[in-house]
Structures are given as C-alpha cells and as structure tokens.
C-alpha cells in the first residue's frame, strides 16, 4: 500500500528559540508536521482562553511556516477532585478546540489524568472503575463542545493515568460514542516496568481494539534505568520492539501523522530516519 505518512516532532523538543526558530529547525531536519504545546513553546500564559484569538492563530500559522499541526496539546487533569480547577480546565479545552479550527490543527490532544489534585499516579485509585467512570463523565462535556465546533479531541492512553491501556480506552470510546473523539496511540506509553514481560500482548490488544479510532501515532523508545524503571528516549535508541506498530502503520494507517517524542536536537533527524525506514518495510 502506498503511504503518504508525515513525520513530525514536539516543537518543545526542537532547539530552543522562538516558535518560528523551532519550526525552521524542524523543517531543516526533514519534519513536515508537529505536536504543538503552546505553554511549552511560548509560555504558560498561552494556555489561558483569552489569549487564544483568531489573530494569534494567524501568527502561529505564520511562525510554523507550512508545518502541519498534527496535535495541539492541552494536557490537563479532567479527573481532579477540585471542581473549580475542573471547570477552568474545561474552558481551556474548549478554547483550544476553537483555536484548533482557526489554525487548521488536526485535533486537540490530551492525556487522561489521575483522580487526585496532584495529577499523580496512585496504584490504589488510578486504575479503578470509579476513576474511569469519573473521567468519562468529565470528558463528555468537552466532546460535546468538539461536536459543536466541528473539531476533534483525542485521548492518549498512558499506563500511569486513568486510561491505562487499550481496554480502558475502548470503554471510553464506547461510552461516549462520538465521531469527534479519537485516539493518539503511543505504544511505549502503555508499557511499564511491571508489564514489560507482556508487552507484545498489551500492544497487540490495543491495536486490535483501537485501530479504527487511532488518528495520530506517537513514536518513542525506552531504556531501563539502574533502579529498573523505564526512561523514555528517542525512537530507535532503546529496547522497544517496533514490529507490531510498524506493521500497523504500514498496513492500516498508510497516511497517519506520526510525531516523535523525547528527541533532542542532536538525535531528532536520526530518529526520523529510523521511523521512515521502519514504516517503509
């Protein structure tokens, strides 16, 4: 199957500088799309709804110099017990969804939080049915706003968050049942030092359950630190088995946008070439 896959990176992983300077570096390294987190490339003040205007969208598009925005990041904790914090987060999501339309971003991406104010993984509560039900209830109004605006919100399963694997992500999709809700799939994110022996089955299961709803793929790798915990690194520089994700992209997602994570300015181009070779096989 002929592919038209775009490969990009998180712009906050590019060489430091202005947004335009980061975009120039990314383009020079052969990237054609990006993951844009306004707070990490321009400043936390750009998370505020009032800052996200049509004029600012025009400026961002100019600064990106033709780079497509595969993901506009808005990573907040919808499961916080603090209702004031939750309501403020919803306003920020809605503002990002609207801003995504103005700047032609493909979607707004988010992770799924933890059921505490600290946004911290708790083995006793994060993976419970109660936490998942809470997240679904909290996400639903955001998806409704995406439907009104004609934009997409995509959730990213992460082991240390409420939506920790393919099964829990499928539960969210089935509960909300909206074409304006999708998946950002990062196979490394659903792995953990406690489940690495079962990594193949976990990734295969997620692909099987989520394949039709995967809108963007994130690529990175991992190594094990001296204490046995995982550390995320650039694609192709660690222990990750890419067989399943490579076949999935090549066979099922011929034109998906792939954004690299945990690269450095020194290894980003090498990681891009690694992924290009992976999917060309």
CATH of the domain at 185: 3.20.20.150
The yes-or-no verdict on residue 5 having pLDDT over 90 is no
Contact 28, 63 (CB under 8 A): no
Domain-embedded: residue 21: yes
Output the pTM of the full model: 0.97
Domain-embedded: residue 1: no
Domain-embedded: residue 47: yes
Pull the structure tokens for residue 64.
């990106």
Domain-embedded: residue 260: yes
User: Residue 281: its pLDDT value, please?
Assistant: 77
Domain-embedded: residue 54: yes
User: Residue 183: its pLDDT value, please?
Assistant: 98
The yes-or-no verdict on residue 1 having pLDDT over 60 is no
Count of the separate structural domains present in the chain: 1
The yes-or-no verdict on residue 2 having pLDDT over 70 is no
The average pLDDT across 182-203 equals 98
**Alpha helices (H) in 72-115, listed in sequence order:** 83-102
What own/partner pairs with CB < 8 Å and gap ≥ 24 does 175-178 have? 175/136, 176/136, 176/139, 176/140, 176/143, 178/143, 178/146, 178/147
CA dihedral angle for residue 98, residue 132, residue 206, residue 249, rounded to 10 degrees: 10
Domain-embedded: residue 115: yes
- The sign of the dihedral angle between the CA atoms of 207, 211, 213, 214 is positive
3-state secondary structure of 78: coil
H-run or E-run covering 218: strand 214-219
**Per-residue pLDDT tens over the stretch 103-138:** 999 999 999 999 999 999 999 999 999 999 999 999
The yes-or-no verdict on residue 54 having pLDDT over 80 is yes
The average pLDDT across 18-28 equals 97
Pull the structure tokens for residue 82.
């603090």
pLDDT band at 254 (very low <50, low <70, confident <90, very high): confident
Domain-embedded: residue 185: yes
Range of the domain at 46: 6-280
**Per-residue pLDDT tens over the stretch 148-175:** 999 999 999 999 999 999 999 999 999 9
**Angle between helices 54-64 and 19-28 in degrees, nearest 10:** 30
The average pLDDT across 212-237 equals 98
User: Residue 168: its pLDDT value, please?
Assistant: 98
Domain-embedded: residue 76: yes
What own/partner pairs with CB < 8 Å and gap ≥ 24 does 253-256 have? 253/5, 253/211, 253/214, 253/217, 254/1, 254/2, 254/3, 254/4, 254/5, 255/3, 255/4, 255/5, 255/6, 256/5, 256/214, 256/215, 256/216, 256/217
The yes-or-no verdict on residue 247 having pLDDT over 90 is yes
Residue 272: what are its φ and ψ, rounded to 5°?
-60, -45
The average pLDDT across 221-246 equals 97
The rounded distance, in Å, linking the Cα atoms of 240 and 171 is: 27
The pLDDT mean for the chain works out to: 97
């Amino acid at each position: 199957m002929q592919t038209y896959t775009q490969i990009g990176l998180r712009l906050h992983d590019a060489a430091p500088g202005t947004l335009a300077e980061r975009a120039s570096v990314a383009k020079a390294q052969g990237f054609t799309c990006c993951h844009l987190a306004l707070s990490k490339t321009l400043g936390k003040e750009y998370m505020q709804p009032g800052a996200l205007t049509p004029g600012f969208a025009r400026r961002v598009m100019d600064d990106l110099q033709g780079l497509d925005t595969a993901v506009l990041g808005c990573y907040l904790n919808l499961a916080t017990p603090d209702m004031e914090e939750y309501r403020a987060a919803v306003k920020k999501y809605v503002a990002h969804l609207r801003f995504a339309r103005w700047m032609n971003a493909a979607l707004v991406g988010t992770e799924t939080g933890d059921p505490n104010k600290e946004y911290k993984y708790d083995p006793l509560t994060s993976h419970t049915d109660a936490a998942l039900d809470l997240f679904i209830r909290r996400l639903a109004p955001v998806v409704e706003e995406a439907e009104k605006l004609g934009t997409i919100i995509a959730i990213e399963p992460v082991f240390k968050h409420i939506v920790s694997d393919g099964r829990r992500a499928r539960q969210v999709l089935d509960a909300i049942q909206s074409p304006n809700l999708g998946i950002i799939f990062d196979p490394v994110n659903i792995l953990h030092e406690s489940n690495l022996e079962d990594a193949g089955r976990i990734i295969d299961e997620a692909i099987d359950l989520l394949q039709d709803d995967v809108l963007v793929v994130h690529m990175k790798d991992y190594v094990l630190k001296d204490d046995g915990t995982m550390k995320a690194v650039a694609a192709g520089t660690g222990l990750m088995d890419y067989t399943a994700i490579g076949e999935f992209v090549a066979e099922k997602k011929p034109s998906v946008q792939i954004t690299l994570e945990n690269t450095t300015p020194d290894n980003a181009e090498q990681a891009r070439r690694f992924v290009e070779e992976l999917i060309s096989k």
